[in-house]
Structure formats: C-alpha cells, structure tokens
Amino acid sequence: MFEAIERKGTGCSKWDNLEAKFGVDGILPLWVADMDLAAPKVAQDAIIKRASHPVYAYSMYTDKFYQGIIDWYDSRFGWKIDREWIVPEHGVVISLNLSIEAFTNPNDGIIVQTPIYPPFLSSVENHGRRVLENRLVFKDGQTSIDFDDFEAKAKEAKLFLLCSPHNPSSRAWTREELEQMLTICHKHSVVVIADEIHSDLVFGSSHTPIGSLPQAKEITLTLHAPSKTFNIAGLNTSYLIIPNAKLREAYSTEHKKAGLDSGNPFGIVALEAVYDGGEEWLEALKVHLVKNSKYISSFIKEKIPEIIVYKHQATFLMWLDCRGLGLDDKELSEFFIHKAGLGLNAGISFGEAGSGFMRLNIGTSIDILEKAMNQLESAIKVVRK
C-alpha cells in the first residue's frame, strides 16, 4: 500500500529540483517535508470528481468543510470546537506571517524554539521583529526545553511561535510541557501561535492541542491542515482555530487585507474527503512510518554508531545527531551529498542550534530507505579508514 511513487517529471520540489537545491543531480532526495506516497483514494476520487466539472473558479468553504474539521478535532483529540472559531486559510506559513502582522509591531520580540522549520525565523525577521531564541537542549538522544530561558524570553515577548510536534526534532511535547509553556505565556501576556501541522502523526502517545488546555482559549491560535497527514500539501488549504473573538477579528483583518478569501476548490473537496473517510488510511500510514523509523534506528545503531538517532516521536522526519563524525557543518553537508549521494536537510539550515545534525525524511518506501542506509554506511566506511 505504501510504495514510493515515481515523482520525477511531475514538477515536484523533492525530486525535480535537486540540482538547484544540492548542486548535483542523481542523489537520493530525503529532504522537503512531503511524502513519496500516494494520497488516500478518497482524496484522489474527490479531486477527480471535482475536476470533471470544468469550472475552476472562485470557491467558498462549504458546511462539510467546517463540519469535517469539527468532527476531526472531536474524534482525534477530544477537543470540541465551535464553527465560528474556524478561519480557513491557504497555508500554515501564511498564517505565521499574518499573525505577526496582526499581533505585533516592528521590533517586538517573538519567541522561537530553535532549531526550527525555517519560515518561523524568516517570518519574524522579514517583518522587522526580533527573534527571541529559546534553544532546545539536545543531550544523549533526548530533546528538552530550557524553561528558565523560556520564561526570561517571555518577559520581553509579544508572541510565541510554537511548533507542536516539533520540526525538525520530531519531538512530541507532553501535556505537562505544554501546560508549563502556556502558564508562562499567560503570566506574561504572550499570545501563542501553535503550528500543529504535524499533529496527526504522533507515535506512542497522544497529541494534546495546546488550545484545548485550560487557560489557552484567550491567548491561543491553532494552525492545522490535512496537508502533511494526507500528503496533499500542494493544494494549499489549511485553517486556524481561534476561540477568542478579538484575536480572530485581528487575524481575519490581515487575512482580508491580503486578499485570501476565496478557497482552492480541490483543497476544499480533498479536506472534506479525508476528514470524512481517511482515518483508516492514516492509521495504516502510521504503522508504515513506525516500521520505517524502527528500521533506520536499528540500522544506524548497529552499523553507524558515530550517529545518534533521536527517538522518533512524531512527523515523518527523523533527527540525526552527526556530531560524532567530527565534521563541521559544511563538511557534513558535503559528505552527505557528495560521498553518500543523499539529499537530507542540514541541521544548520534550521538555525545555529541545529549545528551538527541532519534531518531525514522517512515518508517513502522501505526500499528507498534501505538504499539510502547502504549508501550512507559505505560512505562512512571510507571516512573511517
């Protein structure tokens, strides 16, 4: 069921853009956060049906769209949300940018937990706001939060851009950690923008939407989409959950100013379809990803002990501590590209705090991962000599 699809020639970022991204063609791409796997049949059918109607003009968000989101949150996370809290959007990164416009002024401080998905940093910097960096702590294969530093930063912050679960570390924050962050934000009147785009892919524990916690309603915006979960990111359809009417109004004003009102007709029907009939596929996908991550962890542990694999808790991304290879960041990237023939994301591209790490995308077939691991092992053997 989860075979890698041939994607070359479809204009896809992952396979068709290697030369521009890595400076060489022909390497195995394991980078950008989408999967080589077909979207669920229910999504394909809904898109084909919609495409068979030949007018692809301005589209509105349907009752089924809103109800799908309400039911998804209720059944998957036990969070009962009201329809009026939902604001449809064209992408989570757009929401990060519009939130910064809506809730901060130039030079205001915004907390970001680094290393982080790069638009978290660029959205702050591009708007002339200050990044207040709360560096995550990576020690012995464990990721943790420095709460003293977080509170110090919260004292001078207006906004906190939370990534939950966290990309690139694949860390799923516990309820206690989320409560602690929320309490601090509440105390210092910091608005929380929670990017939970990876929250359907959490393994071994259940995801707690921070917005569902007591104290959260007044200060939290939750950003989500079916895009990562069902591999439909190209449809540019996401949404926010904003219980506080004032925050919702402020966000919606920026959204309207940007001219983003009309929806993507294919994104709308795909969301309706996957939230209605995609759960079985999702559960099977999770089994596949767990199998992939177990394979990677045990291969590297056994054959490449210089690399420490962080526990894969969420997402289809894995976080590899390569500091044991003794290479600087440039050498590390070049080693992966030119010696191992692999296109991963360099940890340093997620900020200084990612130095010495690499991010591996396991949203593919086991065959491709086996090929990748064999290439990596052979390259390491040469370095060891």
Burial class (CB in 10 A: 0-12, 13-18, 19+), 63: exposed
For ligand PLP, give the closer residue by CB, 32 or 152: 32
From 13-21, 36-44, 91-99, 274-282, span contacting ligand PLP (CB under 6 A)? 91-99
**Does residue number 227 form part of the binding site for ligand PLP (CB under 6 A)?**
yes
Assigned token pair, 89: 């959007």
Among 132, 161, 182, 197, binds ligand PLP (CB under 6 A): 197
For ligand PLP, give the closer residue by CB, 91 or 115: 91
Report d(CA 376, CA 335) in Å as an integer.
Answer: 9
For ligand PLP, give the closer residue by CB, 191 or 304: 191
* Per-residue CA distances from 251 to 38, 85, 112, 245, 367 (Å): 34, 12, 20, 10, 44
Closest separation in Å from C-beta 302 to ligand PLP? 30
Phi-psi region at 23: left, alpha or beta (left = phi > 0; alpha = psi -120 to 50): left
From 89-97, 100-108, 268-276, 351-359, span contacting ligand PLP (CB under 6 A)? 89-97
For ligand PLP, give the closer residue by CB, 101 or 335: 101
Among 181, 191, 219, 233, binds ligand PLP (CB under 6 A): 233
Phi-psi region at 351: left, alpha or beta (left = phi > 0; alpha = psi -120 to 50): left
From 86-94, 293-301, 304-312, 362-370, span contacting ligand PLP (CB under 6 A)? 86-94
**Does residue number 230 form part of the binding site for ligand PLP (CB under 6 A)?**
no
Subset of residues 152 to 181 that bind ligand PLP, contact rule: CB under 6 A: 163, 167
* Closest to 143 in 3D by CA, of 176, 178, 116, 169: 169
Report d(CA 115, CA 319) in Å as an integer.
Answer: 11
Among 2, 117, 138, 230, binds ligand PLP (CB under 6 A): 117
Closest separation in Å from C-beta 245 to ligand PLP? 24
Determine the residue type at 255. H
Q: Is the distance from CB of 89 to CB of 60 less than 8 angstroms?
A: no
For ligand PLP, give the closer residue by CB, 212 or 238: 238
Closest separation in Å from C-beta 197 to ligand PLP? 4
For ligand PLP, give the closer residue by CB, 94 or 379: 94
Residue for token digits 């706001």? Answer: 129
Among 18, 28, 30, 33, binds ligand PLP (CB under 6 A): 33
Task: Please confirm whether the linkage preceding 243 is cis (ω < 30° from 0).
Answer: no
Among 18, 46, 70, 93, binds ligand PLP (CB under 6 A): 93
Assigned token pair, 18: 């290697």
Q: Give bridge partners of residue 33 from the DSSP assignment.
A: none
Subset of residues 235 to 264 that bind ligand PLP, contact rule: CB under 6 A: 238
Closest separation in Å from C-beta 91 to ligand PLP? 3
**Does residue number 97 form part of the binding site for ligand PLP (CB under 6 A)?**
no
Closest separation in Å from C-beta 339 to ligand PLP? 27
**Does residue number 195 form part of the binding site for ligand PLP (CB under 6 A)?**
yes
Report d(CA 341, CA 196) in Å as an integer.
Answer: 32
Assigned token pair, 61: 């968000």
Report d(CA 340, CA 364) in Å as an integer.
Answer: 18
* Closest to 321 in 3D by CA, of 369, 360, 276, 377: 360
Among 225, 247, 268, 320, binds ligand PLP (CB under 6 A): 225
Q: How many CA atoms lie within 13 A of 189 on its CB side?
A: 3
**Does residue number 136 form part of the binding site for ligand PLP (CB under 6 A)?**
no
Phi-psi region at 236: left, alpha or beta (left = phi > 0; alpha = psi -120 to 50): left
Among 92, 296, 320, 348, binds ligand PLP (CB under 6 A): 92
Closest separation in Å from C-beta 105 to ligand PLP? 24
Query: Residue 355: phi, psi to the nearest 5?
Result: -55, 135
Residue for token digits 């929670």? Answer: 194
Name the residues that contact ligand PLP, by CB under 6 A. 33, 91-93, 117, 163, 167, 195, 197, 225, 227, 233, 238
